[in-house]
Chain A
């Protein structure tokens, strides 16, 4: 499976079906054993002996949900993980039938001076599908339908990719890379999780079911190495290598796992960087809290502009994260324990 295909599929939190179906199809083709659970997580397994190692990436992405259809056919929506400041003048498509729509903004001529300078809140903007009435809109859209950004996957520069949903389809791609390998001496549980963006809900259930001995969350993470930003607020750098977390709002990764990742990166000359920020959270928190607890770590690929209609990532960082993840899992096969 290619990142292009996986990242282009719609999968706003709570509506991961198309992504899940594609993942299950790919797993079946690969001949990998898997199961699903009541929250829609997919858990693929490899290896029959040794510690249970749960490696998690989430399938869901940020996006919109239709909450109300106006008399004149305009759609009101709730935003899932996207700030209002990036919504105006974007193209979206809605629901199973991929109904096209645009998020309209008043033309500059009609805006009051104050309106030009302030962010218009989500409850004052709308999606226009061209429908002239509620009745016409209801023929193609229902309340509760999800909308995703209509963003083309493109290679902006050699090895630098722009796409929607890199957070966290890039993690899902890392899971596939791990599942291509043969594993003995660990019981690998690769979890494609749902509903991370609305509170790590899928991972909570999948980790409870698996009851792992250790866990790793794979992410597309914040990266702000952009003009005018202070170096102190970059968090990560594009092209700076695999990202190792030391703390965020959901977990403090296990120190010996962090040390092991750093050692393996250095020993194998794999480019890596620390995540120089503590904001945000991910599935590692949910994995750590499952049952009587387990040590966790978090490994990421830097993605500029996440939680907007598109993000930008580097293939080199992906390759580094892949190499470091596989080296880590091999070291667990070789006897490493947190």
Chain B
């Protein structure tokens, strides 16, 4: 299980440049589904055929946060824009890598006070001596991801792009040996981090009866951290709401009921910031009941995102139990 999470988190795929991660996921999910297609926005849609049941989307986004080069200066330094929510404090002095393997480090203009550290003060240094050398390796429009190794800490693991590759892995895991009458559409969505763009298009194309997104959620269990109900190790988090969605109440209650019946460790989640693909799915066409199973994750949107494998397993169990249930709520 950890190996699958390692493989998918290590793949390259900032929003809009998901080609590499898509191929990694395609290879992993292929054995467990009947057909696979890629739509106009690059979503990977893996369909496991049902038998008269409901059309269900299981969505996990495969894009990750990153940076995009907007300018190469005469001295060979790269200026960039952010892809998704990236902040200067977690970026400074990090290493980044591009799709072609080029590695860079993030440096800053001189700032006198830490509070003056703004994204536009930062640049990427790929070791090029001038513009010409830089342009041989990188072009304006190229994006890069944070370079951090996957580390196995025991029950807990840490990696870049846990958001939301850990959910992609959980969906693949769910499909293994799944028997259900429902038509399951596993959507490995693009461009979530820049505005839930892939999922919206995918949901329109699929026109499901139910949408379930799997995504990470920040925790409130670190020293003097934000107040949030969710803790690492306390089970699958069933979302009540975030900034993008108030989860369909009947579906949310149904999730809780199934978790209780099956004895799956779970907790409720209310997120006062951020959104998930479920928000886009819910608003598709004439509206689709949608909910979210969240995987608790510390340090979300940093290069060091941490999850607990027990939570991961509980999320897989709950997702599987839902797919095997009648989904009448």
Contacts and interface: CB of A to CB of B under 8 A. Distances in A.
Interface stretch (B1-9, B166-174, B196-204, B252-260): B196-204
A289 B197 contact: yes
A246 B73 contact: no
Nearest to A233: B120
A251 B68 CA distance: 13
A160 interface: no
Which secondary structure characterizes the binding site on chain B? mixed
Interface in B118-147: 120, 140-141
B204 A292 contact: yes
A255 B17 contact: yes
Interface residues of B, number: 27
B81 A277 contact: yes
B40 interface: yes
Contacts of A275: 70
Interface string B69-102: 1110100000101110000000000000000000
B220 interface: no
Nearest to B206: A292
A275 B69 CA distance: 11
Given A252-B15, A252-B16, A276-B70, A247 B81 contact: yes
Contacts of B73: 231-232
Contacts of A294: 40-41
A263 to B, nearest CB: 12
Contact of A295 (B40, B69, B83): B40
A278 B70 contact: yes
Contacts of B41: 288, 293-295
Contacts of A277: 70, 81
A275 B41 CA distance: 22
Interface string B252-283: 00000000000000000000000000000000
Nearest to A338: B40
A292 B198 CA distance: 9
Contacts of A246: 68-70, 140-141
Interface residues of A, number: 21
B106 interface: no
Interface in B58-73: 68-71, 73
A258 interface: yes
B219 interface: no
A294 B71 CA distance: 27
Contact of B204 (A247, A274, A293): A293
B68 A247 contact: yes
A132 interface: no
B194 interface: yes
Given A232-B79, A274-B70, A247 B201 contact: no
Q: Name which of B39, B70, B202 has the most chain A CB atoms within 10 A of its CB.
A: B70
B140 A274 contact: yes
Interface in B140-177: 140-141
A291 B202 CA distance: 9
Interface in A283-328: 288-289, 291-295
B31 interface: no
A292 B83 CA distance: 22
A295 B198 CA distance: 11
A277 B71 CA distance: 8
Nearest to A276: B71
B314 interface: no
B116 to A, nearest CB: 16
B205 interface: yes
B83 A247 contact: yes
Contacts of A232: 71, 73, 79, 120
B277 to A, nearest CB: 14
25 contacts: A231-B73, A232-B120, A246-B68, A246-B70, A247-B68, A247-B70, A252-B16, A255-B16, A255-B141, A258-B141, A274-B71, A278-B68, A278-B81, A288-B201, A289-B200, A289-B201, A291-B204, A292-B39, A292-B202, A292-B205, A293-B39, A293-B198, A293-B200, A295-B40, A295-B41
Given A246-B141, A275-B70, A289-B201, 8 more contacts: A247-B70, A252-B16, A252-B68, A274-B71, A276-B140, A291-B201, A292-B202, A293-B201
